[in-house]
Amino acid sequence: MTAFALSTEQAEFAERVRSLAADRLRPLAERGAPGRVNRELLAELGELGLLRRLFSGTDQPTDAAAMDLCLLRESLARESTEAETALALQGLGSYPVLQSGGAELVQRWIPAVAAGSAVAGFALSEPGAGSDAAALELAAKPDGDGWRLYGEKTWISNAPEADFYTVFARTTEGAGARGVSAFAVPADRAGLSGEHLDMLSPHPIGTLRFDGVPVTRADLLGELDRGFRVAMRTLDLFRPSVGAFAVGMAQAALDATVAHTREREAFGAPLAELQTVAHTLAEMATRTEAARLLVYAAAGAYDSGNRQIAKSSAMAKLHATETAQFVVDSAVQLHGARALRRGHLLEHLYREVRAPRIYEGASEVQRSIIARQLG
């Protein structure tokens, strides 16, 4: 057994999640409107207890387990990318509240997120601040004992349909990352509006506009001017799990391609018996397994209490997302034109697989993180 082999309990959990995704979640996902929050799907994720696993599966959640999150995302992605994304966006939007919010904020939002009855959003990116998140300009201007938010966020998960957002705003001008604060902002606050964005993949993504949205110290997550730390702690946890999402997609594409090439005949024999096809399948399988091991290693490091995991998280996300792009593209090539028909599994995965190389730190950003850690 290798250092990164799953335990029997973990393997059984992953298989159980796949079964639930196929039998109970995929039908709900297929009934949902593309690009919109699927509250029926979220409610079922809550009913099945999968959202609670984002918070260690305890009655009084105190932290999130990286390996649990990775197993959830990989297993769901193999059967339903919509279910995977619904779960992941709930975690991304709510984890800053769990890790840095006061007791009242945690009690208000986390049980409802775990039940699938409240929808969370993570509002970091802006039109002029994507990969360079420290350059954000959403202004938090002092107003009595609190602040008013002015500006715009874009590429925001579950916007504009979420019930609350974790919002990162500039509370001190000219201070870079040290002048950013994080707030939990209910969607019904005056001055907050937004609209959907029509994306290549069918995710609920949108823009948010803040026209004097009031926030108070009770809404503050963590310390004033230390919100960038809140964002990075969240991304340190979720970056490996983005890799797990990618591994799940790669495995789904590989499974479909192995089955197809064994059944499809060309030049008098199954495609899988052609050396060029067999070698491509071997490369797809090897890269997928290597990506999976990097993801598990990063998750294991996080769960063991090692918070100096920037390099391993970056490696996991980088390699897994780039691998998934290669595997899905190779799968399309081996399937031929049928894979390009609307509604085919690989047509769906081909649209889904592109975004993870960009969000939560583009591949180029991950390479820079890794390079800085090599000294």
Active site residues: 360
Tokens 């039908």, located at residue = 27
Largest CA distance in the chain: 79
Residue 143 CB partners (closer than 8 Å, separation 6+): 214
